[in-house]
């Protein structure tokens, strides 16, 4: 425990001793003030240090944010036990040893039950404030840490996504120029048509490469144009079959995924008129599939694997769905997920501004809830002791203060359960659980 609590307890001791010496002491002597100072110090430091050490111990062993329920239950149980022991010990020292207004038998006979009960409740209110303060400090620290972590994740994901997108331009251009170079030697007239068509295709690349997702319909139309170009070069050596479900056309895939996979088919397989390469593009459940008969050509140079790796990594940034690769002795198939809704993409959460705003909004909402509870708690800790003092000074034979204390206390407990235990967080968790089960 640092010096700040000690200084605070010292001021509380001095203030309470002056208060009781001024209003409740019959003898206005230096000796009487000394007694008040010693008694006030005993209660202030006894209750303050014991609750402070208990709070620090629980904070080290149990996290408020990760083990809220266990921390709350143990906090309540141990706080009641510690305050019960400390209050009875302080009262015994005060009434039996210091003031000598009671014998040990009288103290434990029940004569001071009300005094002990009142002091225990007062100590518990102070303890509740200390625990609430500790929770608020840890929540503030964790909220700041979460925002920083989310910013780092956002920056890392954005950098990775931009790097992946920047691979598309040179990759597509390099492969297309290779096709064009081969076609110039074989058929100059077709090479001219290929150049014109390639400009249209490259326009699509420039338009779509910065998109996170595109419609299946757009990607299929682009793939058909690209297949026509490949058909121009390979003629009967390559066959393309499109069997895409119409219901999936308005769904989404990552842009240029088909073009990259078609390139892979051509690059890694030989194709001749006698042994044509048959490429089939079709839907299978929630996947868009590209399958070709396996006619592996010998590679003089090991492939860099840019195309397929690019698709896998971009999907990993957008969804939890996996890209599947299935290879047999006869066929090679790649299955890319079809995303149902554009809003389902998760890349929108990887922008630093959005991440910070979401975290900030959650923090603001949580702080408002906590502020309301702590305001209620502090009001309770101030008003109830004030009512107790008024009741005991004006009509000590008619005890009525426990009614507002009990009623308000029940409301405070309910408020605390709403903020820390069940409340809206429980509702949101239950809604998500039901929605996941329905899926």
User: Tens digits of per-residue pLDDT, 324-361?
Assistant: 999 998 999 999 999 886 544 444 444 444 445 555 56
Give the mean pLDDT of 397-419.
Answer: 79
Residues 130 and 182 in one domain: no
Per-residue pLDDT, 362: 63
For the cut 90, the answer to whether the pLDDT of residue 278 exceeds it is: yes
Per-residue pLDDT, 337: 93
Residues 125 and 186 in one domain: no
Domain end (from 272, 306, 337): 337
Residues 248 and 389 in one domain: no
Residues 186 and 247 in one domain: yes
State how far Cα 183 lies from the chain centre. Answer: 54
Domain end (from 96, 114, 137): 137
For the cut 70, the answer to whether the pLDDT of residue 145 exceeds it is: no
Per-residue pLDDT, 351: 43
Q: Percent of the chain, pLDDT > 70?
A: 74
Residues 24 and 66 in one domain: yes
Look at the pTM and tell me if it is higher than 0.85: no
Residues 398 and 261 in one domain: no
For the cut 80, the answer to whether the pLDDT of residue 126 exceeds it is: no
Residues 372 and 415 in one domain: yes
Residues 268 and 363 in one domain: no
Residues 311 and 180 in one domain: yes
Under the banding of pLDDT at 50, 70 and 90, the label for residue 150 is low
Of 263 and 338, more confident: 338
Per-residue pLDDT, 242: 95
In a domain, 251, yes or no: yes
Domain limits at 257?
A: 168-337
In a domain, 142, yes or no: no
Of 398 and 243, more confident: 243
pLDDT tens sequence across 90-120: 888 888 888 888 888 888 887 777 777 777 7
Domain count, the chain: 3
Q: Among 55-69, 298-312, 364-378, which range has the highest average pLDDT?
A: 55-69
Give the mean pLDDT of 308-321.
Answer: 80
């Amino acid at each position: 425990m640092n010096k700040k609590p000690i200084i605070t307890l010292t001021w509380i001791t001095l203030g309470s001793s002056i208060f009781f010496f001024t209003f409740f002491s019959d003898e206005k002597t230096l000796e009487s003030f000394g007694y008040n100072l010693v008694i006030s110090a005993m209660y202030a430091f006894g209750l303050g240090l014991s609750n402070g050490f208990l709070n620090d111990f629980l904070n080290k062993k149990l996290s408020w944010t990760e083990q809220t329920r266990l921390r709350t239950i143990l906090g309540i149980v141990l706080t009641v036990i510690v305050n019960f022991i400390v209050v009875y010990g302080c009262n015994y020292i005060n009434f039996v040893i210091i003031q000598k207004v009671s014998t040990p038998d009288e103290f434990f006979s029940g004569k001071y039950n009300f005094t002990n009960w009142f002091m225990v409740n007062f100590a518990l209110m102070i303890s509740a404030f200390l625990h609430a303060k500790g929770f608020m400090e840890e929540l503030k620290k964790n909220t700041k840490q979460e925002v920083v972590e989310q910013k780092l994740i956002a920056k890392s994901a954005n950098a990775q996504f931009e790097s992946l997108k920047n691979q598309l331009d040179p990759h597509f251009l390099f492969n297309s120029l290779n096709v064009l170079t081969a076609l110039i030697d074989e058929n100059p007239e077709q090479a001219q048509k290929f150049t014109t068509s390639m400009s249209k295709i490259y326009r699509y690349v420039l338009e779509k490469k910065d998109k996170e997702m595109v419609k299946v319909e757009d990607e299929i139309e682009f793939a058909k144009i690209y297949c026509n170009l490949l058909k121009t070069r390979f003629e009967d050596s390559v066959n393309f079959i499109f069997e895409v479900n119409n219901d999936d056309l308005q769904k989404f895939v990552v842009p240029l995924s088909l073009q990259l996979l078609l390139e892979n088919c051509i690059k890694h397989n030989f194709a001749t008129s006698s042994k044509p390469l048959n490429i089939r593009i079709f839907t299978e459940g929630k996947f868009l599939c590209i399958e070709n008969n396996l006619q592996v050509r010998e590679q003089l140079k090991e492939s860099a694997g840019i195309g397929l790796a690019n698709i896998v990594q971009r999907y990993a940034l957008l969804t939890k769905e996996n890209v599947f690769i299935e290879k047999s002795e006869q066929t090679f198939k790649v299955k890319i997920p079809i995303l149902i809704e554009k809003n389902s993409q998760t890349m929108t959460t990887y922008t630093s501004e959005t991440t910070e705003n979401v975290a900030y909004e959650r923090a603001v909402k949580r702080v408002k809830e906590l502020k309301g509870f702590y305001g209620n708690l502090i009001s309770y800790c101030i008003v109830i002791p004030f009512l107790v003092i008024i009741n005991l000074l004006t009509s000590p034979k008619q005890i009525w203060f426990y009614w507002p204390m009990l009623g308000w206390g029940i409301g405070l407990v309910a408020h605390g359960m709403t903020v820390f235990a069940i409340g809206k967080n429980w509702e949101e968790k239950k809604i998500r659980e039901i929605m996941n089960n329905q899926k």
